[in-house]
Structure 1
């Protein structure tokens, strides 16, 4: 698959350099003191989120990453140089966990912010460190400390505001192509989408949100059937789920209500928290329903599904009803973003006077 959202890597931070035993040798100075320097620190291993990456495919083939060790200490009070650090660039939304215990170590949510994932070993002490009033010529030194070694699991969860879910061929790819800058592959056979697609929806100047098209689910996806089970994790960070339903399936024997219930059941099996997320019902392909039958078919569908939430009627192909849907989504996402931000702290300069800065 082109989209890789899971990888295992081994990282090795650099070992510290060894300390040095050395004594000063100068003309006319018979008893030069100790001048052995410390070893250098081993290189650290950092991870940083890069907005230009959207897959972990680089780590599928390059599994081992090592930082350089520190240089050994030398005479003449010279300390060894620190080993070069290495930085592993990963997509925003990557979760770094211990491959053996499963414990989550870091989540890369802020682009450009480096996170230390393996610390380089400290350098060893040279004999200059051991000089004292009673030990004028120490011959002790210590080796460098080893750097950290870890086996890590990398898991990517897409950071999107809105996630599309639904059965294969429900029209999710057509909808994301109609409202955003994404251009997913679209065809008339199941499982057209083989990897998640991200699109930015522009509502107005400085008004936008990110929408993710997740591969279609089928019944049994939570247990591993089909393709959707591989990507359900990407819906966990969204603020809103759009449940796309094909209201005019090609096969008359297919019941859209039964398909919609199957999707809801898969969400609940996979993650109750995901099932509890805000979810809107989007009835698609109305252009394939006769105009005089639309209202009755929508009413019958909502009644049989016993749906109490928001309902939108659209045709992703003709873009009918898409604009009201997009504006409603933006208002919801914007309200969620405002609610999640901490309240602004008052300016301490105006705390006593009660004045408000203009």
Structure 2
């Protein structure tokens, strides 16, 4: 038999006080209403004893807030999004908010459904890494009154506040490092969907750096993998690319999942990193320090991305007329042995 949920009325009956008094204490308004400290302690102790859990939906109807934030990430299986989720959750928790985490899997329709679900759950605001090509569908689903902050990705119309990194400059720094070490034939492996702003900026940074270094840009040296392709298919595409382009001495990969395929392909082809092919990847992870060889990679400031995303959203929740903010953070190129 399911145990009945403890209510404010139960606490009031146990202590022989009014429901109103209990409600004021549990909502942190005891001092404001001149309720003495001893009574407040009795209420809080009894709530703990009875294992009282507030009904967030009911509280939301009364107060207009559920103390809940919706978080939509593009791919929770990607270590970058997994780590940023933890960071955002930590900062939200410090501010007294719970997080509902969702993954769109880079699917527009799923993202739209998740937005509707979060709104129906009466979240106070949304932080998201969107897979959409533009904001039209988001604007159709999300009311202008709903605070919304983008991270990792942004849109051209700049309607929503965003926290991103300088993907273009980060990629340029990687290519410049290759060139400073004598590389001229450099390949680039990226991921679809190609409308995603970080991927656009990383490709743009690659092209700009090659042009500035007066190096030839051959479209054949750029490989774009489909997001929805199975891992096996992606691996064989990477392996085929490396096998066909043995003139390449260096490759830059646009994220950390791609570089894993590169390392596997190099191993199975009997080729060595960096002797036969130097590699730098975007999105550093702790494991890259311990691979053989340790991988050079671009680290994003996850702590700052999470902190700023939550901070902007909380500011929007407190102030209706908050101006749109666009924070662009710097990355770090960690040079190791690849």
Richer in strand (by share): 1
Quick check: which one's helix share is greater? 2
TM-score by length of 2: 0.32
Structure with the greater alpha carbon radius of gyration? 1
